[in-house]
Structure 1
Amino acid sequence: MKKTIGEKLKLGIFSIVGLLILVVAIYFIGSRQNMFAKTFIINSNFNNVNGLQLGNNVRYSGINVGSVKTITIVNDSTISVSMAIDENMAIHIKKDAIATIGTDGLVGNMIVNIIPGKGDDRVVVAGDVIKSYTKIGTNEMLSTLNVTNENAALLTAKLLDIANNITDGKGTLGMLINDTIASYNIKQTIYNLKLTSIEANRTMKSINKIVDSINLNNSIAGLIFNDSIEAEKVRGIITNLDESSNDIKMVLSNLNETLLNIKDGNGALNYLSNDEEFVKNLEQTIQNINEGTSKFNENMEAFKHNFFTRSYFKKIEREEKKQQKKMNKDK
């Protein structure tokens, strides 16, 4: 069956439209992969690429500047990512720039973000390796949150136990909350401490007034503090007092030895202090001497009035009066 001219025309139009759609699609795909622009390669090493794939975008300060060219595992802890960057951006990316891996929005594809550096004016060239920073991935965050939740649960259980113990009056805190007597005693103690603090403050003020009232220029304290000569004299007095104290100690020691000798020896003082019979005899002797002296005085008085000896005593009395007058004149 021969095709009509209309069918051929429709087929031609369909083919042309399909070819145009194919060209446009190839252009857009090539545009995304930088197939039609001049690019240069820079690299960065990561510990974890977090699902980054070939062809994902590379952004510099939020602007698409290239795409991921290759992803190579260097070793068990290093992954090298090669990025095809638009050649026109070479003058903007510095050698101290930092590459990080993030997401395009909340749930979008993974992308490489290049953060501008600070302080280095040198621009990157093809083959350079820039520094990288690996952010915490979703899995790590979920793991950390899981551990945090477990710790929070354990902490809540322990806090509940503590609250129950406090409610039951267990422990010091429970006693303070539930025991009114202990609470009153603590309040009283704090009140007494407050009073003590007030009294101490008053005492310090009084001491400060006393210290301020001391005339350091004219008082003895001032001489001691300011005059080195007077201070040396005071030091000498203290030294002499110390030496006198030592001498007094020696005298007391000797006196103690003497008293011990008196107490334990055989001398007269020992008899006087310890022998009661000797003391009684001595008292009797003294009494007899006193009586003899009294009788002797009576006999002498009798001699003064006796006819034979009276003139002798009067003569002596006249001589004594003459001597007394002479002494009064000499004075």
Structure 2
Amino acid sequence: MKSATRSESYKVKVGIFVVLGVLILVGGILMVGTLRKTFVNKIDAYAVLDDVNGLTKGSNVWFSGVKVGTVKHVDFVENSKVKVTFGIEESSQRFIKKDANVKVSTDGLIGNTIIVLSGGSPEAEVVEDGYQFRVQKEDSQQDMLKTLQENNKNLLAITADFKELVRGIKGGEGSIGKLLTKDDLYQKVNSTLTGLEAATVNAKATTVALAQFSRNLNTQGNFVNDLMTDKQMYTDLKQTVSTLKETSGNLNQTSTSAKALVSNLQQTTNQIANDRTGTVGVLLHDEKTAANVKSLLRNLESGSAKLDENMEALQHNILFRRYFRKKRQNEEKSDTLTQVTTLGKMP
């Protein structure tokens, strides 16, 4: 029984010594890694910040992604600000300029808090021991978390609106909902699209026809092509247009003269129609005078007929028959002579 107890005690002691040995080994490795640059020459610089976001002594200092030093002191100063003093290796000093900026960042998204040096122009002076860097404000993890929370709220609101929109569409609300749920509206839209397609085909055919028409116009020998390229034809056409303009002006003058003549005739007609004392006015308005004129004309016509009968009777009278026969013979001779003269003049 005592032997078993001693054996268990011995095992416990061995286990304790093993654990202590492992811890001492790990601590030694970490210490060697941390103190590896303990004896490297450094210069001290500092920056005064409003918030260091958990920065502690021993935190790394980075420049262009390379570790160039560590934080030495984190102290409060006036106005609740924090002074961070850090060392910079002399081997990296010549690359860091006085116009560089300091900001507090993290090693990764949720890593350790570090100091980051950034910027600096080539023509600026190199930093010196005791130099104070300018501070560049950077969003902290809390600020990023707040931003993420706001984005989550906005995303939830957008999701809720989208769900409401989908519910309305499924219920047949709005143009899209009606289009998806009502067959008659779909048929109308489909018919409209078919009409648009036909109109597109017609427009394409019209475009082709216009292109062919344009090519025909540009064909040599075409009137329009000759008109555009033949200077003489253009000059002749210009003269023709000028002549047409002149003719149009003459026609306008003739039309004006005709209008004046018609106006004068109308005025004269009105005067004749309204003048009852003149000859024409008396004939137009005095029925008695008109009747007398008609009777006179009938008498003249009757006298002329009787005169023709008397002349016919004289021609058959034995006393005047020889006279009229000789007159007819003279007329026949005169006609024959005229015909002969005409025939002689013909070629």
Please report the TM-score for the alignment, with normalisation by the length of structure 1.
0.64
Higher mean displacement: 147-156 or 97-106: 97-106
- Do the aligned residues in 2 keep the contact of 1:46 with 1:133 (CA within 8 Å)? no
Alignment of 1:74-223 (within 5 A): 81-91=84-94, 93=96, 99-104=102-107, 107-114=110-117, 120=122, 124-127=126-129, 128=131, 133-214=136-217, 217-223=220-226
Who is 2:41 aligned against?
Answer: 38
- Quote the offset at 1:140 in angstroms: 1.5
- Quote the offset at 1:320 in angstroms: 2.5
Distance 1:82 1:303, change over 3 A: farther
- Do the aligned residues in 1 keep the contact of 2:97 with 2:126 (CA within 8 Å)? yes
Alignment of 1:6-85 (within 5 A): 36-43=39-46, 49-60=52-63, 64-69=67-72, 81-85=84-88
Distance 1:238 1:63, change over 3 A: same
Paired with 1:111 and 1:194, the residues of 2 have a C-alpha distance of: 66
What is the aligned-residue identity percentage?
21
- Quote the offset at 1:326 in angstroms: 0.9
Does 1:327 find its partner at 2:342? Answer: yes
- Do the aligned residues in 2 keep the contact of 1:33 with 1:55 (CA within 8 Å)? no
**Structure 1 counterpart of 2:341, which letter?**
K
Paired with 2:203 and 2:110, the residues of 1 have a C-alpha distance of: 70
Q: Which runs of 5 or more structure 2 residues have no equivalent in the other structure?
A: 1-23, 274-282, 285-289
In structure 2, the residue corresponding to 1:267 is in which secondary structure?
helix
Who is 1:316 aligned against?
Answer: 331
**Structure 1 counterpart of 2:327, which letter?**
Y
Higher mean displacement: 218-227 or 249-258: 249-258
Distance 1:259 1:194, change over 3 A: farther
- Do the aligned residues in 2 keep the contact of 1:54 with 1:70 (CA within 8 Å)? yes
- Quote the offset at 1:166 in angstroms: 3.0
Paired with 2:162 and 2:190, the residues of 1 have a C-alpha distance of: 27
In structure 2, the residue corresponding to 1:183 is in which secondary structure?
helix
- Do the aligned residues in 2 keep the contact of 1:101 with 1:113 (CA within 8 Å)? yes
Paired with 1:49 and 1:244, the residues of 2 have a C-alpha distance of: 101
Distance 1:252 1:114, change over 3 A: same
Deviation string 1:153-207 (CA, Å, 9 cap, x unpaired) is: 3323333333333334333333333333333223222222222222222223223
In structure 2, the residue corresponding to 1:124 is in which secondary structure?
coil
**Structure 2 counterpart of 1:200, which letter?**
A
**Structure 2 counterpart of 1:149, which letter?**
N
Deviation string 1:121-140 (CA, Å, 9 cap, x unpaired) is: 87833155667654432222
Paired with 2:123 and 2:344, the residues of 1 have a C-alpha distance of: 130
Paired with 1:45 and 1:258, the residues of 2 have a C-alpha distance of: 112
Paired with 2:225 and 2:215, the residues of 1 have a C-alpha distance of: 12
Distance 1:324 1:81, change over 3 A: farther
- Quote the offset at 1:34 in angstroms: 7.3
Paired with 2:262 and 2:84, the residues of 1 have a C-alpha distance of: 110
- Do the aligned residues in 2 keep the contact of 1:39 with 1:87 (CA within 8 Å)? yes
- Do the aligned residues in 2 keep the contact of 1:90 with 1:123 (CA within 8 Å)? no
Deviation string 1:192-229 (CA, Å, 9 cap, x unpaired) is: 22222222222232232233234655444334323445
Paired with 2:248 and 2:158, the residues of 1 have a C-alpha distance of: 72
- Do the aligned residues in 1 keep the contact of 2:105 with 2:115 (CA within 8 Å)? yes
Paired with 1:316 and 1:126, the residues of 2 have a C-alpha distance of: 155
Distance 1:106 1:175, change over 3 A: closer
**Structure 1 counterpart of 2:52, which letter?**
V
Does 1:224 find its partner at 2:223? Answer: no
Please report the TM-score for the alignment, with normalisation by the length of structure 2.
0.61
Q: How many residues align?
A: 291
- Quote the offset at 1:79 in angstroms: 7.1
Higher mean displacement: 138-147 or 217-226: 217-226
- Quote the offset at 1:40 in angstroms: 0.5
**Structure 1 counterpart of 2:113, which letter?**
M
- Do the aligned residues in 2 keep the contact of 1:304 with 1:313 (CA within 8 Å)? no
- Do the aligned residues in 1 keep the contact of 2:94 with 2:127 (CA within 8 Å)? no
Deviation string 1:84-126 (CA, Å, 9 cap, x unpaired) is: 11223324546676644322455443111345x6983878331
- Quote the offset at 1:36 in angstroms: 4.9
- Quote the offset at 1:232 in angstroms: 3.7
- Do the aligned residues in 1 keep the contact of 2:46 with 2:86 (CA within 8 Å)? yes
**Structure 2 counterpart of 1:124, which letter?**
V
Q: CA RMSD in A?
A: 4.9
Larger C-alpha radius of gyration, 1 or 2? Answer: 2
Paired with 1:185 and 1:207, the residues of 2 have a C-alpha distance of: 32
Alignment of 1:279-318 (within 5 A): 299=308, 303=312, 306-307=315-316, 308=321, 309-318=324-333
